Amino acid sequence: MFPYFYFDWTWILLIPAMILSMWAQANVNGTFKKYSKVGNRFGYTGADVARRILDMNGLYSVKIERVNGNLTDHFDPRTNVVRLSETTYDSTSVGAIGVAAHEVGHAVQHATGYTAIKIRNAIVPAVNICNMLSMPILILGLFLSYTLVDLGIILFSATVLFQLITLPVEFNASSRAIKTLEGQNLLTADETAGAKKVLNAAALTYVAAAFSAIMSLLRIILIFGNRRRD
């Protein structure tokens, strides 16, 4: 039957995902704000700690650069550079130290060939293409062929796969960060506990992103599956 429009009840599936995402984002912002006001006893900056941890792991060639923004910190494997945001680079706060150590954790993952990050980095180009093409192909499939609908669902599934692979990558980077901060006495026990709370809050945003992707995929399957039966 020719596809038609009807009341879409499946949007209800996205409500829990949206609530979780908003709460996770508010939580990470609030937690970082709280611990951005708590300085570390030794006076290390985020950049100091990043450099120390890199050197401890023999990663002398990995550079550290300042990048604009708030919580825009990231490791770029293409250029082998750890980029720390304005709120992290020069800050001596417990929150900044935790974030800096986490990003260096990604650099260590890359250098040691951590399996999950190798897979994630390898599929990024393909995932970007799949994400760009999935919805147009799904819509075309309604009018041309349900084979295209199936293809669109498969392409969108790549986004879900990427989000799921991201979880162990982020959890492992945070685990490496906390172990290093504790083991090398870069922070006191109380300060490390604060840094851990910041990283746990950040990890929840990735859980929320994965959950949102799964719910979106389920919604797409239900929408296009119902139309196929009609």
Mind telling me the catalytic residues? 103
Largest pairwise CA distance in the chain: 71
Question: Where does residue 143 rank: exposed (0-12), middle (13-18), buried (19+ CB within 10 A)?
Answer: exposed
Q: Cα 220 to the chain's mean position, in Å?
A: 23
What is the three-class DSSP state of 4? coil
Residue 56: Cβ within 10 Å count: 14
Cβ atoms of 141 and 152 closer than 8 Å? yes
Token readout for 50 is 């990043």
- Residue 208 phi/psi, 5-degree rounding, is -65, -40
Q: What are phi and psi of 75, to 5 degrees?
A: -105, 130
